[in-house]
Structure 1
Amino acid sequence: MKILVAIKRVIDPYVKIRVKPDHSGVESNNVKMSMNPFCEIAVEEAVRLKEAGKAEEVIVVSVGDNASQEQLRNALALGADRAIHVQVPEQSSPLAIEPLTVAKVLKSIMDNEQPGIVLLGKQSIDSDNNQVAQMLSALSRRGQATFASNVDISGDAVTVVREVDGGLETVQLAIPAIISTDLRLNEPRYASLPNIMKAKRKPLEVITPESLGIELTSSQEVLEVMAPPSRSAGIKVDSVEQLVDKLKNEAKVI
């Protein structure tokens, strides 16, 4: 069985985000980039399933410009077998790579590769849309389990423990299935130096959306990006009466 894993290149989560002076987006020039943390969890889970004998091949795919190959090579160093880079022009607007477009690309690759499991991070930390897995499920008419904290494959079915608002939910899906990963599914490993060197020799195929019959179009428009307002300093009160007065007359929350 093949496992297909979708990954995304994002600004490193430990970098302080700066809004551009014209408020058209966030500054990405000369900023450290990395693989989306939820995507790292998806790659780790796919590699673990392969190591457990549940899969024969792990394929990673990313939609983006040439710089996305850095994250694909990193995924190969973590244990994936081959990579597919769906290349978009350098000057393309990030809005052109919206969730529905990515879902259509993954649907086309699914049709070509016929994976048993498709793993995705539940969301990317830049746009936080949390939409691709659900859209891909609808387009491919495959069962889905989002927010997975445990994945167990047995025969032609996969059992997934999901994190939901009320606690945990266990569902069973027929394979092929689509799963999005949550934080508590696993802890991603670090790539060793020998594996980083081996990753340079692993196959990385470059294709375009046009070769898949998909046009880069956008139905969204960003009007303005702004930093959140600065939080004011807290104050100390001397009594409960003073606290109630400030909550009532200043904060106006009671």
Structure 2
Amino acid sequence: MKVLVPVKRVVDYNVKVRVKADETDVDLANVKMSMNPFDEIAVEEAVRLKEKGIVTEVVAVTCGLAACQDTLRSAMAMGADRGILIESSIELQPLAVAKLLKSICEMEAPSMVICGKQAIDDDSNQTGQMLAALLDWPQATFASKVELAGDKIIVTREIDGGLETLSMALPAVVTTDLRLNEPRYATLPNIMKAKKKPLDTIAAESLGVDTAPRLKTIKVSEPPRRAGGVKVADVADLLNKLRNEAKVI
């Protein structure tokens, strides 16, 4: 069984993102980049399935600039067998990424696609769902547990009211939630081995997919600064402020 894991290069989650002076985008100059945390969870789950002997090959795929090869190498250091870079110099929005991934799925014929539920840069939470729709595959989003039983996959997903368990036929698309697993740290030997694993580069234009942006960013701004708190003398003073100043009681 082959599993395809899309990964995305994003600003490292430990970095404080700053907005450009002209408010057209965030400033990426000299900013540390890393793999999207939800995608790390997806890679970890695919590798665990391989370690159980259920999956035979894990293929990591990403879309973007040549610098995205580092993200693929990180995935391969975690245990992915090979990587595919769909190289493109233009902004790729969720629908464009889903179309490119559809083309790769048709080429690779995986039994399952496991991807992060969303990227921490745009928070769109759309690519997995769009990919499933384009492929006409069943999908399970926000997965917190994944089990394979024969030709079916059983996914426990997190919903507002608790947990929901789905059984689906393969091939299928699964998007990962935070509580699915704890991603491993890549060891130095595995990082060195990842440099020798195969990494193929495909030009996005060669896939015959319309990747033109359909959305235009009008403005990017930082959230308003929170006002400082105040100290109160006692509970009575707190209740008085809540009642007369905050108007919440």
TM range (shorter): over 0.9
The whole-number CA distance in structure 2 between the counterparts of 1:35 and 1:132 is 16
**1:227 and 2:222 equivalent?**
yes
How many residues are aligned here? 249
Aligned mate of 2:187, from 179, 182, 192: 192
Name the residue aligned to 1:41. 41
The whole-number CA distance in structure 2 between the counterparts of 1:30 and 1:250 is 45
**1:144 and 2:139 equivalent?**
yes
What is the Cα deviation at residue 201 of structure 1?
1.1
Name the residue aligned to 1:32. 32
Unaligned 5+ segments in structure 1 are: none
Name the residue aligned to 2:18. 18
Q: Cα RMSD between the aligned structures?
A: 1.3
For 2:86, give the aligned amino acid.
Answer: V
The whole-number CA distance in structure 1 between the counterparts of 2:189 and 2:136 is 40
What is the Cα deviation at residue 242 of structure 1?
4.3
The whole-number CA distance in structure 1 between the counterparts of 2:49 and 2:17 is 35
What is the Cα deviation at residue 209 of structure 1?
1.6
The whole-number CA distance in structure 2 between the counterparts of 1:138 and 1:250 is 51
- Taking the TM superposition and a 5 Å limit, the aligned residue runs for 1:102-251 are 102-238=97-233, 242-251=237-246
TM-score, with structure 2 as normaliser: 0.96
What is the Cα deviation at residue 190 of structure 1?
1.0
The whole-number CA distance in structure 2 between the counterparts of 1:252 and 1:211 is 61
The whole-number CA distance in structure 2 between the counterparts of 1:134 and 1:103 is 9
What is the Cα deviation at residue 241 of structure 1?
5.5
The whole-number CA distance in structure 2 between the counterparts of 1:46 and 1:34 is 19
What is the Cα deviation at residue 243 of structure 1?
3.7
The whole-number CA distance in structure 2 between the counterparts of 1:105 and 1:84 is 12
**1:9 and 2:9 equivalent?**
yes
What is the Cα deviation at residue 246 of structure 1?
3.2
Name the residue aligned to 1:83. 83
